[in-house]
Structure 1
């Protein structure tokens, strides 16, 4: 089945090694090689450059990765939707950028699980541009992002405001010196980035740039440093004195929005699910 060929392709593109891919997929190396050859023959292009010692993706292989991931997601969506034994169950397909998953959505999914027993969840991660497209195309039912599009066909609801606090692995930091030690710049979007650049214009450039708050948190816990991070993500570490709040640093706020099609046949279910976000901001 072509789905298995695409799964094999994605694993080889991840490992760039037939043997490692075979171990991950629990099939023989020759089977991996045969599947890649079948896929290449079917597409009429080479997906990997085998001329060098190390395997490399061809330009065509790079372009296939996005399509392969989309096809596998749609296949999973179809299997889950068609295969649900409970006729009253309704599939809810949710998409978000990765950082919002880390900050607020995992707890929200737990509330849906406990309070909406007839809902079957399917989740995926997208870029902001892909989220807009997939909601408009009906691929996903509800999406979460920082900067929503203003499109007539979409309902937009603010679900949370996230406070971002500057924390450090070292106590007693003086913000007036604007000399952030091992500062990690986390990407929270254009508006927060612009505020930060204005208020820290006299500071040296950030040492590291990390687009995921969770990754930045784990980094400074292990290696030391400072970063702007969501309050609820660092609360436990502040209590345990593993991190320290820089009290006189400006606090930024990032709003999280849900978007969905206004004419979606799941609109009532989506509206009900959104109610399980807390009434107060984080």
Structure 2
């Protein structure tokens, strides 16, 4: 079985479009069709039906989904196991939300290595949706992220939260801010909703970003107001060019650990989860 056939099948189940799957996988539409045909020939069953409403999996296709996900995950883990260096007993691939990495990655990885000295770690920075997909596919063993994406076979556990504060180059009070100069941060859907509730009269911003470092760079260059991580807000305020907007409450963003259900009781994953939870429980 070629793993590319399963990748193409699972993507098509998600997109319901041969054209969209071709775009996402960087293939021609005819290649997608031939891969699906090869899989159907091997299984002796049609896996999709086409209509004006789009492409939909047949009953056989739906039965294949869970098996395909499991086989893809096992293949990815086997591939990584074969590549593992002989100096380590295991390797772990960990995804971390971009904004968490800036201030936490050094402390966390140092603790991880002390707890699991015979483990090789690969750290990847990304956003929640992609990390969830990678955990499901077996490309990551676990991920620390902002937004749970409800997918089959994934388990999310709350580990703590980070805080964002509103700062401004203009004034320390909300009434004195220029709404049109606000830089809208979009760190997660939950964060965006909370920001809208706090600043309902602020229009859609001309400039926006979903990463703290980018928002800090934008407000440093353009001025105005923006929500940034509390550590960044305090540093910028201490430098004397920005004010903490004291009458707008901070926004707390929850942090989750994502792990595959098959790995929820694995010793290494539970040990890393305990380390991260303990880190967030410490007083700041």
1:30-49, aligned counterparts within 5 Å?
Answer: none
Q: Deviations over 1:64-89 (max 9, x none)?
A: 39xxxxxxxx99x957863413243x
Q: Structure 2 CA distance, aligned partners of 1:80 and 1:242? A: 51
Is the partner of 2:252 in helix, strand or coil?
Answer: strand
Distance 1:205 1:146, change over 3 A: same
Is the partner of 1:109 in helix, strand or coil?
Answer: helix
Distance 1:265 1:194, change over 3 A: closer
Tell me if the contact between 2:178 and 2:224 (Cα under 8 Å) persists in the aligned partners: no
Deviation, 1:107, is 3.4
Counterpart of 1:25 in structure 2 is none
Tell me if the contact between 1:178 and 1:202 (Cα under 8 Å) persists in the aligned partners: no
Deviation, 1:152, is 6.7
Counterpart of 2:83 in structure 1 is 82
C-alpha root-mean-square deviation of aligned residues, in Å?
Answer: 3.2
Tell me if the contact between 1:161 and 1:253 (Cα under 8 Å) persists in the aligned partners: yes
- State the aligned residue count: 213
Q: Are 1:221 and 2:216 counterparts?
A: no
TM-score, normalisation: structure 2: 0.63
Q: Deviations over 1:144-203 (max 9, x none)?
A: 222224557333221221111101234x33202453463211112222212222332223
Instruction: Tell which deviates more after alignment, 180-189 or 259-268.
Output: 259-268
Q: Structure 1 CA distance, aligned partners of 2:81 and 2:223? A: 43
Counterpart of 1:239 in structure 2 is 238
Instruction: Tell which deviates more after alignment, 232-241 or 206-215.
Output: 232-241
TM-score, normalisation: structure 1: 0.63
Counterpart of 1:275 in structure 2 is 274
Is the partner of 2:183 in helix, strand or coil?
Answer: strand
Distance 1:78 1:169, change over 3 A: farther
